[in-house]
Structure formats: C-alpha cells, structure tokens
Amino acid sequence: MLSISLALGGLNPDAGSIEAPDPVSEVVLTPGGVLEVLSNLDPVEITVSAPADYAGTYSVTQAALAAGPVNLVPARLDAVPAIGQPIGHMPGLWVFDAALPAAVITVQWQRDGVDIAGETAPSYVLTSGDLGTSLSLRETATQAGGGTQVQASDAVGIVSRTRVLALMGQSNMVGFAPFDGGAAYPGGVLQVARSGRASGGNSGDIVAAQTLLDHYDGDPSFMGPALQFAIDYAAAHPNDTLLLVPDAKGATGLAAGQWTKGGFYYDTAVARVNAVLADNPTFEFCGILWHQGESDAGSAGDAAAYATRLDTMIADMRTDITGADADTPFIAGGMVPDWVAADANRQTVQAALSDTPNRVSRAGFADSAGLSPLPDGIHFDAAALRSLGSRYFTAFNVLDDASSPPVDPDPAWDIDGTVIQSALTPAAPSVAGTVVLEGI
C-alpha cells in the first residue's frame, strides 16, 4: 500500500489519515496539519482543491522519490512591504516517501542569489540595504534514508525610485498656517533647496523636506498642503523617494504674467525641475501640484480669462519640463470656500479650477469643500491644509501611472527547467511523487 502524506505549514503527525479508493480527489489541505492518504495503487492521482494556491491534480509514484523529496509548487514571496516591515512567503508544496521518516523543510533568505546570514525564519524584515536588489527564498527538503532537494522561489526585485514633484502657485501652496505639531515629513521625502530659506541649503541642493519647504516666502513655523500629501504618498509607495521642488510665491498670478511662459516664476520653476532631472538622469518627473487663483479674481476680465490662461500654462509646462509630456498629472486645488462665496469673480475662478479635468486631459482637482480658513479668511488653517494635502494625493493617485514599484509581470514557476505554473495565471501542475507537504 502506498502511503502519501500531505501537509501545510509544518509537520503535525496527529492530523489524521484517510483510506480512499483511486483516484483520491477533492483533498483539502489544512495549515498546520498533515493529511495521510493510503492507496493501493502506484501511482495514485490526487486532486488538491484547497488552498487555491496549491489546487491541482498530482500523479504520485514511489519510484520518483528515490532521490529524496520532490517539489510540486515552489515557494512564492508575498507582496513587497515597506522598508522595516516583514516580507513573508507562501511555502512550497513538497512530496516525499511516507514510509521513511518525515522530511524536514528549512528555509534560507537570499539577496541577489547569495544567502543572507542568519535569515532562516519564515519571514524577513526588509532593510534599506535591500533596495535595488532581488530577494528570493530557498527551501531545502531533507529526509533521512531518502535524500536532500533544494528549490528556490522566484526572485522579487526591491526597486527604489526617486520621483520628482513640482509645487507651484501662490500662498496657499506655501501654507500660511502654523505647524500643528502633528506628523512631520517622512524619511525619504526630500526637497530642492533655495538659498536663504529655512533648509539652509544652497539653491539646487537636494536636502531633507521640513515643515516649511523652501518656497519663496512663508515663516519657518508654517506648514503647507504638501506635508500631508507626502505622508500619504509615502504610505502608498514606501520604497520610493519623493523629491519635492517648491516654487510657490504669495500674491502671484497668471493675469500678471508671472506664471505664464516667459514670466519669472514660470521660467524659474521649470528651470529648477529641469536642472534636477539633468543632474540625475534616473529620476522620474511625476507631476505638478498647483494652488493659485486668488490673485486672478480681482476683476471680472481676469476671472473670465483664467481657464484659458491656466490651460495654456499647463500645456506649456508639459512641453518645457524635460521629463513631462501630455500625460503628466496636473492637480489644481480649490480656494477657501467661504472666501470664494463672498464674490462672483472668485466663484468664476473656482469654477475654472474645478472644471480643469473636463478641459485638460490627465488633470485632477483637489476639492476644498468644507475646509476652514485662518482668521484672515483667505488662507487655510492647519486642519484644512492636512485635508487638502490628502485630497491632492487622492486626485494625483488616480492619474499616477506608477502605483507600485515595477516587478516581473509574469514570474514563471519551474521545476528542473520546465515551466509548470505562473504566479499570475495559475495552471494545475502535474508532478510525480509520493508524499506531499508544504514548507514552513
């Protein structure tokens, strides 16, 4: 009689056994347990119906096990987490001879194919040293009286990107509310410095982002909407470096020509982004956050012309910024609602801002509805800036092409060079063996 053991998540010989006719079908493997199947035929065909990751039909023979345990399904790594968080794995599925002592499965984490010293636990905590490398997990199955076999998971790239985001407009992009004492910029969020500003860096230096970015103005104790945007971005893209290019200036506008092509603030902002991209060819330009409009609401004529001027500026920037194109995300933000409600011209500009996604492809709008101002009535308070920053991120994330670091689009699983299953499009594998178990 052929004895076949099936186990998930370790070996537990007390999980029970069944005696069944051939073929044995609809076997459900239970994590933490061993299911022994006794059959009168060699080979025996077993259909595993659960868990889904191991579902398939397996033909098991005694002869195939002479060299030791046989791997049916290799281990597979879980999704890549944030630096400092553990990455786990789906254990491999093994078959071995139940007439011999139970197989022992051990694991070893590897970086670029080389063992990581001391990392033999089921999970591994990702470190900054893993960025730019590939991780894999090697399972070794050893059976006394049988032999030893090794099977590695597919490698998963731990990819680090630096993405460049431009911040433009006037004082509500700078932020005029005192810092609220809440969460600060996460590690991995940088900015391009401006000489004489809060960072202390020289113009063009890449330095750490801090509560008030190096815009043209604003008190060092202030905070802006980019703070919460960066926090939300870092949470969604923990392996990225986000480089902010702050270029907002209070009381500037399109009507005055300051933010149109050829204007000082337009040209300077474009030049600063282009300089960063030229000096760092691997950096990726990912978008523009825009908050402006108050200075263009002073007359009916300027308010009526705002939509056209804004659309022209967007098109020009997508052409003039080296790393931009027609698909580069552009996110406009709404002005303080109560301030807008008090004047028809302001309402015209606000309507133009909110309608930008309908006029311009790959544009978004961060709605300011319900957000409260400082006592001056025109600038957002700290709580509103937090909310507005999150709304900017939500709008940006809808348009962002890079929602996660690039990975192999279809990592094939193979045994002895023969592809049997794809991690994305699972097929039912059929491999000869005798006893089935899952690694740890």
- pLDDT per residue over 39-97, tens digit each? 566 776 766 666 778 777 777 677 777 777 878 888 888 877 666 678 888 888 887 77
Instruction: Look up residue 8 and give its DSSP letter.
Output: B
Would you say residue 368 lies in a domain?
yes
Least confident of 4-8, 37-41, 166-170, 186-190: 4-8
pLDDT bucket at 301, cuts 50 / 70 / 90:
very high
Domain residue limits at 226: 161-399
In 194-322, the DSSP E strands lie at 206-208, 222-223, 240-246, 284-291
pTM over 0.85: no
User: How many residues are there in the chain?
Assistant: 440
Would you say residue 91 lies in a domain?
no
Per DSSP, the residues of 316-359 read: HHHHHSTT--TT--EEEEPPPHHHHHT-HHHHHHHHHHHTHHHH
Is 17 a residue whose pLDDT tops 70? no
Would you say residue 97 lies in a domain?
no
Confidence at residue 429, expressed as pLDDT on a 0 to 100 scale: 33
Least confident of 101-115, 177-191, 210-224, 366-380: 101-115
Confidence at residue 38, expressed as pLDDT on a 0 to 100 scale: 56
Angle of helix 300-320 relative to helix 344-354, nearest 10 degrees, comes to 30
CA–CA separation, 414 vs 421, rounded Å? 7
Confidence at residue 150, expressed as pLDDT on a 0 to 100 scale: 87
Would you say residue 190 lies in a domain?
yes
Backbone angles phi, psi at 89, to 5 degrees: -155, 155
- State the greatest distance between any 2 C-alpha atoms of the chain, in Å, as a whole number: 93
Decide: 314 and 321 in contact? Cβ < 8 Å: no
**Measured between alpha carbons, how far is residue 157 from residues 112, 135, 401, 408 in Å?**
9, 6, 19, 8
Residues 6 or more apart in contact with residue 111 via CB below 8 angstroms: 130, 133, 134, 135
Confidence at residue 82, expressed as pLDDT on a 0 to 100 scale: 62
pLDDT tens for 336-371 read 999 999 999 999 999 999 999 999 999 999 999 999
Decide: 217 and 197 in contact? Cβ < 8 Å: no
Q: Which residue has the higher pLDDT, 5 or 97?
A: 97
Would you say residue 367 lies in a domain?
yes
pLDDT tens for 177-194 read 999 999 999 987 999 999
Instruction: Please choose, from the candidates 98, 80, 81, the residue with its C-alpha nearest in 3D space to the C-alpha of residue 37.
Output: 98
pLDDT tens for 19-46 read 334 444 344 454 444 455 555 667 767 6
Would you say residue 434 lies in a domain?
no
CA–CA separation, 239 vs 373, rounded Å? 34
Would you say residue 308 lies in a domain?
yes
pLDDT bucket at 228, cuts 50 / 70 / 90:
very high
Would you say residue 276 lies in a domain?
yes
Is 438 a residue whose pLDDT tops 70? no
Count of domains observed in the chain: 1
pLDDT tens for 279-300 read 988 789 999 999 999 999 999 9
User: Measured between alpha carbons, how far apart are the two ends of the chain, in Å?
Assistant: 28
- CATH code, domain carrying 237: 3.40.50.1110
Burial of 417 (0-12, 13-18, 19+ CB in 10 A): exposed
Angle of helix 300-320 relative to helix 264-279, nearest 10 degrees, comes to 20
